[in-house]
Structure 1
Amino acid sequence: MAEKSKEQYYLPPPKLGKWEGFSKFVWDSDSSQFLGRTGASWAKIFIFYIIFYAALSGFFAAMLAVFYQTLNTKSPKWRLDESIIGTNPGLGFRPMPPESNVESTLIWYKGNDENNHKYWTEEIDRFLEEYKKPGLAPNVGQNKVICDYNNPPADGKVCDVPIKDWRPCTTEDGYNYKKAAPCIFLKLNKIFDWMPEFYNDSSSLPNNMPEDLKNHIENNKKPAELNTVWVSCEGENPADIEHVGPIQYIPRRGFPGYYYPFRNYEGYLSPILAVFFERPKTGVLINIECKAWAKNIHHDRQERRGSVHFELMID
């Protein structure tokens, strides 16, 4: 009987109510535990995670520092044929349709409704802002010079893109939208270190070049000005050719060669030109294709290489 009196039996903990159980979990005065852990246990947990995240942050910072050592902020590591962009620039146009219709390339407005064509003129204003006020950004303008075909920029300098006297393609004239004879601006995409190979010899002109552009090149009496990336715009189909009417290129028929190559010098602005549609037929949809011409620009309508398509409709 003495042996049996020494036996101890396990007693289950007393049943507690929900509130009492929660209170005991938050702070157990019997074992000095807070949220199920003692002070020493919490201290070990905090020290472990401090060391763990400090080591993780240090490793990430070290890898980031190594990564930045491989980058050059002024020039890309992979250029021209070695890069994904390649050596065939695309051609872009402005104004673009609203973002709500991002896949559209239709410029559609009512010539006699100022509120209707206001969007398009404001879109051009936004596009030309950096060309009108190049001094807004820090240091921009300090290395900008006035260039021409006989005075290309020195190394490290960039050419200005003057757009003040491009009438009627100016903001003061509303880019001529109110007269149902709009101006569309074209811009060749930048590719680092790309240099165009000019069509500056009449004997080398391709067969598919428009005849009016061929005549323009052949009749040019200033050899230096032949170093140009030429531009042509025309209707895509016979009906479009009939409806598009006469076209002017302002200030010239292409992008001057002295703007190339692009080397990311501070203050650089891509050359642009305005295509002035003098008398497009109203009330019909006109499909227009513009192409940039150089020996190393290849045209691909599907991939939009070297050319751009848009539609024009004026009510």
Structure 2
Amino acid sequence: MSSAPEVQNQEPNQEPPKETNAEQKPEEKEALGEEKDAAKEEVKVEEKEEKTEEKKEEKKKEEEEKDKKKKEQKKEEKKEEKKESWKDFIYNPRTGEFLGRTASSWGLIFLFYLIFYGVLTGMFILTIWVMLQTLDDAVPRHQDRLASPGLVVRPHAVEISYNRSDPTNYNPYVQQLHDLLQQYNDSIQEGNDLCLVGEYTDQDDQPKKKVCQFKRSNLRQCSGLPDASFGYAEGQPCVIIKLNRVIGLKPEGDPYINCTAKRNTPLQMIYFPPEGRLDKMFFPYYGKIAHPDYVQPLVAVKLLLTKEDYNVEQTVECKVEGSNLRNSDERDKYLGRVTFRVKVFQ
């Protein structure tokens, strides 16, 4: 009997393990539930954030697409505006404008430019007419030629070189001389006037200028009449010297042509006309219009080459002398003089 109360007295002081476990389980469950709820909330938050980001990206894409569409629409609108503006610029049916102006505006512009250019044309014609009144048809007002003329040699060659036994070598030279003397044929010159020898032929007051005769036959052995080869076949060639034309030139004194060989031994020559004279009757010259048939005086020089002169180059200088015409200007080697070379092969 005594053992029973002891047992009863001890039971209240001891807590059975099963009861403690039962009491702790709800708390753990609550903690676990809270953790799960927190995890779910976090997942929900993350999902919301992802959804919001997706929505933002979709909105951006939509905005970009809208911007592209707007840009494309603007481009199309601009193209249409340009087309319409070009059409309206060419012809605008609303305002009746053609190329940006009405018919009355175009008419006023054409009238203005017609009057403007008409006045300019009239002023130009007037100035040309006034200038022409001061000019002479026969004589140029200003001449760019020198007061002293130059000399020219024919055949037109600085060096006359040929083989006298081969006609094909000298035929070009002979042909040049024949061509030059065609207008000096006696049949043509007989129609010109006989002028006073040694006197100027002044014709300032005469509307039609006469021409003094210079016959080809005056050149005798160098005329090409007795010897059609002008002495080239026999090795004694002829050259013709002429003075360039200068309007109004009246040389003082008695001009003549003098030729010299640039070597120690003299070279024999014959002049036609005699002494190489340039007669005053062929001066002055009045120009191509007033003096269309004018023929200038010529001087032919026949070079009397000997056998010793063959195969040797001969340098000859011809000058106009006996007058006030210049012949020694170092700046112009053709002013009043001319130099040429001759070489004949046997």
| TM superposition score category, shorter chain reference | 0.5 to 0.7
Instruction: Decide which of 241, 245, 265 is 1:190's aligned counterpart.
Output: 245
- The alpha carbon displacement at 1:255 in A equals 0.8
* Aligned equivalent of 1:93: 153
- Secondary structure in structure 1 of the residue aligned to 2:256: strand
With the length of structure 1 as denominator, give the TM-score of the two structures: 0.65
With the length of structure 2 as denominator, give the TM-score of the two structures: 0.60
* Aligned equivalent of 2:216: 163
Superposed CA RMSD? 3.9
| The structure with more radius of gyration | 2
Query: Residues 38 and 87 from structure 1, CA distance in 2 versus in 1: closer, same or farther, beyond 3 angstroms?
Result: same
2:271 is the counterpart of 1:249: yes
- The alpha carbon displacement at 1:111 in A equals 3.1
Q: What is the CA–CA distance in structure 1 between the aligned matches of 2:201 and 2:140, rounded to whole Å?
A: 22
Query: Residues 284 and 59 from structure 1, CA distance in 2 versus in 1: closer, same or farther, beyond 3 angstroms?
Result: farther
- The alpha carbon displacement at 1:162 in A equals 0.7
* Aligned equivalent of 1:59: 123
Q: What is the CA–CA distance in structure 2 between the aligned matches of 1:56 and 1:273, rounded to whole Å?
A: 55
Q: What is the CA–CA distance in structure 2 between the aligned matches of 1:290 and 1:282, rounded to whole Å?
A: 21
- Secondary structure in structure 1 of the residue aligned to 2:341: strand
Matched pairs, number: 256
2:195 is the counterpart of 1:147: yes
- Secondary structure in structure 2 of the residue aligned to 1:276: strand
* Aligned equivalent of 1:296: 324
Contact 1:290–1:307 (CA<8 Å) still a contact in 2?
Answer: yes
Runs (5+) with no aligned partner, structure 1: 1-9, 98-104, 199-227
Instruction: Decide which of 275, 278, 285 is 2:301's aligned counterpart.
Output: 275
Query: Residues 32 and 193 from structure 1, CA distance in 2 versus in 1: closer, same or farther, beyond 3 angstroms?
Result: same
Q: What is the CA–CA distance in structure 2 between the aligned matches of 1:108 and 1:17, rounded to whole Å?
A: 84
- The alpha carbon displacement at 1:23 in A equals 8.6
- The alpha carbon displacement at 1:87 in A equals 3.6
**Of the two structures, which has the highest relative contact order with CA contacts closer than 8 Å and spacing of 6 or more?**
1
Contact 2:218–2:272 (CA<8 Å) still a contact in 1?
Answer: no
* Aligned equivalent of 1:208: none
Query: Residues 197 and 11 from structure 1, CA distance in 2 versus in 1: closer, same or farther, beyond 3 angstroms?
Result: closer
- The alpha carbon displacement at 1:44 in A equals 4.4
* Aligned equivalent of 2:165: 112
Runs (5+) with no aligned partner, structure 2: 1-73
Contact 2:219–2:299 (CA<8 Å) still a contact in 1?
Answer: no
* Aligned equivalent of 2:284: 261
